[in-house]
């Protein structure tokens, strides 16, 4: 006598699970980085998470970007307000960064996926 019942997932079996197919649009322009810090917690990006970053994408208002400001890397929300570019933290404990011409700013890509580690 069988124990249990057939899995409803049996009809959806795939040969292989390929995370590149799921997470990467441009393989040559995509890389991953590990998050350190809590400045983006309200965007559900936590310390220790892994970000998938696409350097081929131009940032648009509201995107989350990996950026270096004067040599220091950070992840923030890219916002255009009137004639200003502002990098916003998603944690009220951190101030917005208003970009000026006196800063060395290099955008290293747009975050396309967050891999949140549970265990």
Evaluate whether 78 touches 87 at the Cβ level (below 8 Å).
yes
Torsion of CA 54, 59, 62, 68, to 10 degrees: 80
Q: Determine the 3-state secondary structure of 73 from DSSP.
A: strand
pTM over 0.85: no
- Considering 39, 55, 80, 82, which one is annotated as catalytic? 39
Whole-number average pLDDT of the chain:
90
Query: Which pLDDT score is estimated for 10?
Result: 65
All structural domains of the chain with their residue ranges: 8-115
Q: Which residues contact 87 (CB under 8 A, 6 or more apart)?
A: 65, 67, 69, 74, 76, 77, 78, 79, 96, 97, 99
- Considering 76, 80, 82, 88, which one is annotated as catalytic? 76
83 CB-contact burial (10 Å; exposed 0-12 / middle 13-18 / buried 19+): exposed
pLDDT digits (tens, 9 = 90+) for 14-44: 668 888 888 888 888 899 999 999 999 999 9
Q: Considering the domain 8-115 in this protein, what is its CATH number?
A: 2.10.109.10
Of the candidates 60, 73, 4, the one whose C-alpha atom is nearest the C-alpha of residue 33 is: 73
- Whether 82 is catalytic: no
Query: Which pLDDT score is estimated for 20?
Result: 84
Lookup: tokens for 88: 């916003």
Lookup: tokens for 44: 């559900």
């Amino acid at each position: 006598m069988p124990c249990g019942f057939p899995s409803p997932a049996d009809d959806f079996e795939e040969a292989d699970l390929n995370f590149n197919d799921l997470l990467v649009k441009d393989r040559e322009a995509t890389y991953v980085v590990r998050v350190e810090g809590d400045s983006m917690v309200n965007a559900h990006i936590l310390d220790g998470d892994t970000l998938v970053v696409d350097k081929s994408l131009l940032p648009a208002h509201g995107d989350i970007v990996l950026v270096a400001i004067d040599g220091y890397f950070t992840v923030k929300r890219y916002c255009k307000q009137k004639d200003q570019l502002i990098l916003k933290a998603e944690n009220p404990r951190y101030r917005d960064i208003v970009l000026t011409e006196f800063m060395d700013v290099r955008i290293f890509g747009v975050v396309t996926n967050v891999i949140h580690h549970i265990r």
